[in-house]
Amino acid sequence: MADFPYYGTYARFDTLEKKDGAVLMNADSIVGDRYEIEITREDGVRRAWLVNRFGARLGFFDETTTHELSLCEAKGWTLVGVLSFVAFSEMPEPGVYWGQAAVIAYDPLQSDTVNPFIERARKLIGEGVRPQLSLGPGALEQLQAAPDSWMPTERVPFPPREKGTVLLKSREKISEKLIEQGRQKNIGCYIVSWIFLLAVVAMLMFGLKSCGLF
């Protein structure tokens, strides 16, 4: 098989300041969403940023990931990020918001093969499932043979949670799905979804009241 121009992994990103966590926690930054990767060179420092579809920078990747992505960009490859999770760590003080993203780079000539794969990966990540993205020659051969359906069966676990670290977002939330439906002007589904959500809340409140807990 000829060399297939592809790079994929999960990589950590960090925010510059604690206040930047507000962007990560709002409905503009959804787990499983597709993000741009922007590489900047400011004051002699090169950084690769995860950027949501509204143009907001969520955080920056470490030097190793930035170097790899810079090499891919230099080749003219397309860079894509998919938010995997958001976390908060108490240390270093005063605390830091961070997370991981799926990072994929590929030659634009392979868009018909890689883009469907990214869409399937996005859906799984939005459900809290992390498919393997680092694909060896055998896996890439399978992807080329079945670009519209193949996915690796291997899963990548979430990193071990250290003391003082809380996982805040690891899948797409129901509230975010509702907001997305509103953005897409799917008013009918939007209203029905809210009615369903309110019905679930009402049933829960009734159950708690019946048990004497409310």
Instruction: Mention every residue, 6+ apart, whose C-beta is less than 8 A from residue 116.
Output: 147, 148
Q: Which pLDDT does position 8 carry in this prediction?
A: 97
- Cα angle at 176 between 24 and 112, to 5 degrees? 85
pTM of the prediction? Answer: 0.81
Per residue in 88-107, pLDDT tens? 999 888 899 999 999 999 99
Q: What is the DSSP letter of 154?
A: -
Q: Which residue has the higher pLDDT, 90 or 214?
A: 90
Rounded distance between C-alpha atoms, residue 99 and residue 92, angstroms: 15
Q: Which pLDDT does position 80 carry in this prediction?
A: 98
Per residue in 142-197, pLDDT tens? 999 999 999 999 999 999 988 999 999 998 876 656 665 665 665 554 455 445 55
**DSSP per-residue letters across 82-104:** EEEEEEEE--STT-EEEEEEEEE
Q: Which pLDDT does position 213 carry in this prediction?
A: 46
Check if the beta carbon of residue 150 is closer than 8 Å to that of residue 143.
yes
Q: Which residue pairs from 180-187 have beta carbons closer than 8 angstroms and sit at least 24 positions apart in sequence?
A: 180/30
Check if the beta carbon of residue 49 is closer than 8 Å to that of residue 39.
yes
